[in-house]
Amino acid sequence: QLDVGGGGGAGPTRNATAGYNATGGSGQGATGGTAVSVFDDRILHGGSGGGCGNRSGILYGGGGGGGVIVIVAGTWIDTGWNTAAGVFARGGYSVSAGGGGGGGMVRLISPIIKGGGVLDVRGSYNGTNCNNTSYYGGCGGNGLIKLEGYDVAGNFLSYAFNYNGAESLKFGAPQTPVLAQANIPTVEVINVAADFDGTTQNQGPPPVDFTNHPYTAPGMYFRSDQMLTVTVQTKHVPSTAAVWVRMNAMDPANNDSVVVQAGSPTSAGVNMYTWTASLQVPTNTELGSIEAWVDRVCTPGTLGCAAVNP
């Protein structure tokens, strides 16, 4: 059939729109792409390319799909401070009857994420070939932005909303950049307990994924000189290992972090243990994150490691 616009390419979690026919009828051209994931999936794929279109017997290719960008930092990520800076994984546009490409995916993983740069995962980002005009292709679906951190603030959030829409922006606690194989040794702080006026309160880690800004679910505030009990869960770590817990000072130049070794573990399931450590908040110290790690446990597949628990 002549004079049919190609469908737009889907974003990771957003559908694309259909192309247009010779009279400009919305959705009368080729069908737009369908997203293959939902918002809460830990996905790593980008956007789909737009479909080909036909105008007066001439074929037009679709725009390319946006890619995947993953940035990981152990301290902080700064997106820059103007609209020309930032991170871009936009879907490409195409000429005439071709469909626009779907937006890609951006994951920023760090304890602190800040800045004023743009986070842009728009589908068919210039918008000139998906505006209900005769022969034109459909729009690519917007991509996905995942901000995985404990302290997330900056003007880039308004840019992310304005350019991509709220449905493209997701917050969460820092996660591994890629899914690990099943028997990889892992260490996770699962609870921090403290007594407030005779009542014990518990603070678990932030959820893996949450839609709203993390400031809507603040962590626990501790008093100076207060005792804390930190519970750590390990998987594929031997019971003879040394597990360490640290409270990090927000101002390491003037305050001290606290490091203690956890006690003997308790079995929590197959290849799983829980460990506890008691720490005291230093006087007049502003604390940041609480972390845990384990000594001398190798990862299968690395040099000199023949077993999960050597």
Question: What's the per-residue H, E or C state across 57-87?
Answer: CEEECCCCCCCEEEEECCCEEECCCCCCCEE
Whether residue 142 contacts residue 103, with contact meaning beta carbons closer than 8 Å, is answered with yes
- The radius of gyration computed from the CA coordinates of the chain, to the nearest angstrom, equals 25
Instruction: Return the pLDDT at 260.
Output: 93
Nearest to 247 by CA among 218, 217, 207, 277: 277
Tokens standing for residue 198:
């005779």
Instruction: Return the pLDDT at 233.
Output: 95
Residue 165 amino acid letter: G
Written as tens digits, the pLDDT of the chain (310 aa) is 567 888 888 998 888 888 887 665 555 678 888 888 776 666 678 899 988 888 888 888 888 999 999 999 888 899 988 777 889 999 988 777 888 899 999 999 988 888 888 899 999 876 666 766 677 888 899 999 999 887 888 888 888 888 888 888 888 888 877 766 667 788 989 999 988 888 888 887 766 667 666 555 556 677 778 889 999 999 888 888 899 999 887 676 777 788 999 999 999 988 899 999 999 888 877 777 788 998 877 766 666 665 554 4
Instruction: Return the pLDDT at 310.
Output: 40
Instruction: Return the pLDDT at 234.
Output: 93
Report field, pTM of the whole predicted structure over 0.75? no
Whether residue 135 contacts residue 105, with contact meaning beta carbons closer than 8 Å, is answered with no
Tokens standing for residue 28:
């009368």
The kind and range of the H/E element at 292 are: strand 287-294
Nearest to 10 by CA among 145, 106, 121, 128: 121
Tokens standing for residue 103:
């937006």
CA distance 124 to 49: 10
Beta bridge partners of 144: 105
Nearest to 37 by CA among 168, 182, 154: 168
